[in-house]
Amino acid sequence: MNTRAPIRPTDLHSRRAQLTTGPDAVAEGRRQVQAAITAWDVPVDPDVAALLTSELVTNAIKHETGETITVFITCCFGHLRVDVHDTSRFFPVLLEATVDDETGRGLMLVDTLADKWGCDRTPDGKAVYFTLAFRPDYGGGWRSRPAGSPRLGLVGKDRPALNRPHPARARTTRRSPRCGGPQG
């Protein structure tokens, strides 16, 4: 008997959205990521993915000199990855915000909630990304969550807090050689 294992594609799903750098860009970036998660039935928390996308898009708009930014969403090999491209050459820096600071907590959220994050130089500027690993406790996707069951990742009665590390992995912090900031 001569059988072969099926060839696994490199990229299972991908989506690209070009956003105009205006007040609606953050909401549109969130909608694009949530639509991809729903369409592809990705077993990650869409609220966490939307929050992290909001942070990266907000940072890109804040530092963008052009009129557009690009969001790439890919899903392959057990991870959802979101890249936000802009024309700025400055890499993001993870800040230690004090209680009185009004800003500076966005990358702290990304560092805490993402499985991995970082940035890469591109010919036109940079791309900042985060990844979320598939979670078996989501059972194949957000849509398959039974009605009335708790949404994991949200704070509330009988629900885990957002700032607890993912139960399936130990959290370690290391310096990112490409961003100059910690990443998980």
- Give tens-digit pLDDT for 16-55: 999 999 889 999 999 999 999 999 989 999 999 999 999 9
Token digits for 48? 């966490």
Q: What is the CATH number of domain 13-183?
A: 3.30.565.10
Q: Which of 131, 132, 128 is nearest to 59 (CA)?
A: 128
CA–CA dist 61, 40 (Å, integer): 27
Token digits for 5? 């294992």
Find the farthest-apart pair of alpha carbons in the chain and give their distance in angstroms, rounded.
Answer: 70
Give me 160's structure tokens. 């885990």
102-160 confidence digits (pLDDT tens): 666 788 889 999 999 999 999 999 999 999 999 877 654 444 344 444 444 433 334 33
Tell how strand 68-76 and strand 116-122 pair up.
unpaired
Give whole-number Cα distances, 61 to 24, 33, 47, 58, 82, in Å. Answer: 11, 17, 21, 5, 16
What's the rounded Cα separation, in Å, for the pair 47 and 152? 10
Q: Assess whether pLDDT exceeds 90 at residue 8.
A: no
- The answer, as to whether pTM is greater than 0.75, is no
Q: Beta strand pairing status for 174-175 and 79-86? A: unpaired
